[in-house]
Structure 1
Amino acid sequence: MDRREIAALLAYIGRLDPRIIRTDEGDARDQLAQWHELLGDVPMATPYGWDARVAARQHIRLSPYQILPSDIARPWESYRRDRLHRHTDPTPSADPDDQAAWTAELLGTRRAVAAGSAQPAQDRAITSGRRGSDPDLEARLREVGSCIPAEARAALAPCRPARAAREAAVAQGRPDPLSVRCDWCLAQAGEPCRQRRIGPDNGVRGTTPRATPHPGRLDLAAAQQAQQPAMA
């Protein structure tokens, strides 16, 4: 806010709480300078929900204490934090090889969101919440398929053998061993089996993930798969 906006805000507050009014010209000038120094970077209003007059009215309505500049600044900082928390940086349109332009566009978008002149980009919201609630979205996800191309999945297979073995089993109609809990190493569903590392004193030093599940987990997954058709 500039000095004229600060003066307008003080006049508005004075109509709601006369305690803030300064009748002496010198006191009024000092008050204006103080509020401008503390609220110079706070806008009077933004297109998306912020209004300093609303924050002032809320404080006067709920608090018995005389309003201070911090009673405007605190809601503004909360407004900024909430918007940045909901913002998921969209990919800049600048050339990725031009690091300066890429960074400048990214920071410019964040500043616009924080200042309230642009809406947060919520890309994650498309897959949040319960699936199946939107039939159009569910159909679109089925049409797109996996977000990892088949070529990239094949290239990553040597780096994640447990996941590759699981995907191959599911593709061939065999039971998925990671869909059940392992009774041997107590690995939870969705987690790979683990193998104990034994020290020279025969004590357990730790565990490491196994590329293949324990045999008992395979048997348990097969038994569960066999029960599903019967239950159906």
Structure 2
Amino acid sequence: MDRREIAALLAYIGRLDPRTIRTDQGEARDQLAQWHELLGDVPMATPHGWDARVAARQHIRISPYQILPADIARPWESYRRDRLARHSDPTPSADPDDQAAWTAELVGTRRAVAVGTAQPSQARAITRGRDGIDPRLEARLREVGSCIPPAARAALAPYRPARAAREMAVALGQPDALNVGCEWCKAQPGEPCRRRRIGPDDGVLSTAPRAAPHPGRLDRATAQQAQQTAMA
């Protein structure tokens, strides 16, 4: 609030609580300077729910004590904290490679939310079904065929051989062995088969993922695929 707004707020408070009125010109000037020093960064009102006059009226209505600048500043800080707690940073529109612009947009958005000039951005819930898919994202996925670009997929293949083998089998029209569990190593559907290291007493010392599924698991997946084809 600037000095004129502070003066207007003090005049409003004086109508509700005459104890705050200063009749001496020097005392009134000192009061105005004090309130402006303490509330200079607090707005008179914002488009989204804050009004210093409402905070003042609430204090005067419920408290027997004369109002102080802190009785305006405390509700304002609570208002700011509540808005920031409900805010989830949206993805900036700036180029993510431009760190300065990216950070500046994030800070600017948070500041606008905190001071009440913008509404908090709520985190969108994960939705199911085609109605929850952004049309632009859907079009892009149809264009590229996958959310992972082919070049990135090829670069990742040496580091995830089981996934690469699975994708290759699906691309060739072969059954996906990971759709079923493995009776040999007890791997669950979706998990890669594991090879066991057996100790002298026939105990399992360790296991490690296999790039290729066990033959019996592949046979089960083939039988399941044939059954689904026949039913279709």
TM value normalised by structure 2: 0.64
* Displacement after TM superposition at 1:204 (Å): 4.8
- How much identity, in percent, do the aligned residues show? 48
What residue is the counterpart of 2:208 in the other structure? Answer: 208
Q: Contact (CA 8 Å) 2:175, 2:225: kept in 1 or not?
A: yes
- Tell me whether 1:113 sits opposite 2:109 in the alignment: yes
Distance in 1 (alpha carbons) for counterparts of 2:53 and 2:225: 59
Q: Counterpart of 1:75 in structure 2: which amino acid?
A: Y
Q: Contact 1:22/1:28 (CA < 8 Å) preserved in 2?
A: no
Residues 22/163 of structure 1: CA separation in 2 closer, same or farther (3 Å cut)? same
- Alpha carbons of structure 1 residues 149 and 20: separation in structure 2 relative to 1, 3 Å: farther
> What runs of 5+ residues in structure 2 fail to find an aligned partner?
none
Report the residue type matching 2:175 in the other structure.
Answer: P
1:173 Cα deviation (Å)? Answer: 1.1
Q: 2: distance between equivalents of 1:199 and 1:4? A: 85
Distance in 2 (CA, whole Å) between partners of 1:68 and 1:177 is 66
Per-residue CA shift, 1:39-62, capped at 9, x if unaligned? x2x55566xx634229956x949x
String of CA shifts for 1:205-231, please: whole Å, max 9, x gaps.
Answer: 554332222333323322322222233
Instruction: Select which of 78, 83, 94 maps to 1:79.
Output: 83
Mapped to 2, the partners of 1:55 and 1:209 lie a distance apart of: 67
Residue 200 of structure 1 deviates from its aligned partner by: 7.5
Mind listing any 5+ residue stretches in structure 1 that lack a counterpart?
Answer: 97-101
In the TM superposition, 1:1-232 aligns within 5 A as: 1-2=1-2, 4-5=4-5, 14=13, 18=16, 22-24=20-22, 28-29=31-32, 32=35, 35-36=38-39, 40=41, 43=43, 50-53=48-51, 56=54, 60=58, 69-83=73-87, 85-92=88-95, 96=97, 102-116=98-112, 128-133=126-131, 137=135, 138-196=138-196, 204=204, 206-232=206-232
Q: Which has the larger radius of gyration?
A: 2
- In 2: Cα distance, 1:6 partner to 1:205 partner: 76
Q: What is the root-mean-square deviation of aligned Cα atoms in Å?
A: 4.5
CA contact (8 A) 1:44 1:51 kept: no
Aligned pair count?
A: 213
What is the identity, as a one-letter code, of the residue corresponding to 2:130? G
Instruction: Identify if the C-alpha distance between structure 1 residues 30 and 148 changes in structure 2 by more than 3 Å, giving closer, same or farther.
Output: same
TM-score (norm 1): 0.64
